[in-house]
């Protein structure tokens, strides 16, 4: 692929290419949401939804490095990974996360990262304390319904409207939508700077992407089936040459 040189970011020498490819989307997303969108400060408390997912595990690892107090929704089977990454797990299938956050914190959290959308957005907003920020992103992978393309677009539009509508509530809490594509278009220099920071953290072994499995490229179908089964924690990396 030929690209203009100002769109390239050098990869530090000696890194595992599978780990490099695994950090680009999820860790840059997590880094930018924490630092560019939420302007998170050390010691603040956060609720990270889907802590066992790709973006969730990245948020937990980067949040721990930044000294955050972290609560995270996940299913029972992902409780262990969330705990290992420094989060306090909340089994969203067994308890109401709003009640649980207020039980654990008294007055809520400083920021919520919500990639779920739908009804979750209003609930996430409720757990923000004064000055809190709700970062909404993604909304893609949680639908149990097999929506066609038009259905997906409509569902996304509804989610963004729900998110932005929360900003009309006249209080000191804020709602901030995040999209890596939009931010990269608007601020390409931030993308390069932030990806470089992420690569350096990987080089210093301060972050470690979870790679659930590496498959040869010709098993791409199995990779998709595994992803769709919802049983995967972390990334599946397709290897082009050999294993």
Ligand X SMILES: NC(=O)c1ccc[n+]([C@@H]2O[C@H](COP(=O)([O-])OP(=O)(O)OC[C@H]3O[C@@H](n4cnc5c(N)ncnc54)[C@H](OP(=O)(O)O)[C@@H]3O)[C@@H](O)[C@H]2O)c1
Binding-residue pattern over the window 69 to 88 for ligand X, x denoting contact by CB under 6 A: ----xxx--x----------
> What is the smallest separation between the CB atom of 109 and ligand X, expressed in angstroms?
15
Within residues 1-40, the interface with ligand X by CB under 6 A covers 25-26, 29
How many Å from the N-terminal Cα to the C-terminal Cα in the chain? 23
**124 lies in the binding site for ligand X (CB under 6 A):** no
> What is the smallest separation between the CB atom of 33 and ligand X, expressed in angstroms?
8
Residue with tokens 């020498």: 13
Nearest CA-CA partner of 74 in 109, 41, 115 = 115
- Contacting residues for 15 by C-beta, under 8 A, at least 6 apart: 199, 202, 203
From its phi and psi, is residue 230 left (phi > 0), alpha (psi between -120 and 50) or beta? left
From candidates 27, 137, 191, 199, binder to ligand X by CB under 6 A:
137
Within residues 171-210, the interface with ligand X by CB under 6 A covers 178-180
Within residues 88-107, the interface with ligand X by CB under 6 A covers 92
- CB-nearer residue toward ligand X: 42 or 145: 145
DSSP 69-121: EEEEEE-GGGHHHHHHTT-EEEETTTS-HHHHHHHHHSS-EEEEEE-S-TTHH
| Angle value at C-alpha 92, between 170 and 127, nearest 5 degrees | 20
> Are 110 and 127 in contact, with CB atoms under 8 Å apart?
no
> What is the smallest separation between the CB atom of 242 and ligand X, expressed in angstroms?
26
> What is the smallest separation between the CB atom of 151 and ligand X, expressed in angstroms?
15
> What is the smallest separation between the CB atom of 215 and ligand X, expressed in angstroms?
16
**139 lies in the binding site for ligand X (CB under 6 A):** yes
Q: How many residues bind ligand X (CB under 6 A)?
A: 26
- CB-nearer residue toward ligand X: 51 or 108: 51
Nearest CA-CA partner of 53 in 230, 237, 238 = 230
Rule CB under 6 A: which residues touch ligand X? Answer: 25-26, 29, 49-50, 52-56, 73-75, 78, 92, 115-116, 137-142, 178-180
């Amino acid at each position: 692929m030929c690209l203009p040189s100002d769109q390239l970011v050098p990869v530090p020498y000696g890194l595992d290419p599978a780990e490099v490819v695994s950090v680009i989307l999820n860790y840059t997303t997590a880094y930018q949401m924490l630092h560019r969108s939420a302007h998170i400060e050390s010691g603040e408390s956060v609720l990270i939804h889907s802590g066992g997912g790709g973006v969730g595990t990245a948020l937990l690892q980067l949040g721990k490095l930044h000294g955050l107090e972290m609560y995270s929704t996940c299913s029972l089977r992902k409780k262990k990974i969330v705990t290992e990454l420094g989060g306090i797990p909340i089994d969203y299938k067994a308890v109401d996360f709003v009640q649980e956050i207020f039980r654990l914190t008294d007055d809520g959290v400083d920021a919520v990262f919500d990639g779920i959308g739908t009804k979750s957005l209003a609930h996430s907003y409720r757990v923000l304390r004064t000055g809190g920020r709700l970062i909404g992103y993604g909304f893609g992978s949680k639908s149990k319904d097999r929506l066609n393309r038009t259905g997906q677009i409509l569902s996304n539009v509804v989610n963004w409207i729900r998110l932005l509508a929360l900003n009309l509530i006249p209080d000191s809490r804020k709602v901030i939508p995040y999209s890596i594509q939009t931010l990269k278009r608007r601020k390409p220099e931030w993308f390069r700077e932030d990806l470089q920071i992420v690569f350096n953290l990987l080089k210093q072994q301060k972050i470690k992407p979870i790679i659930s499995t590496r498959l040869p490229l010709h098993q791409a179908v199995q990779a998709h089936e595994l992803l769709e089964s919802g049983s995967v924690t972390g990334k599946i990396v397709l290897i082009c040459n050999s294993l």
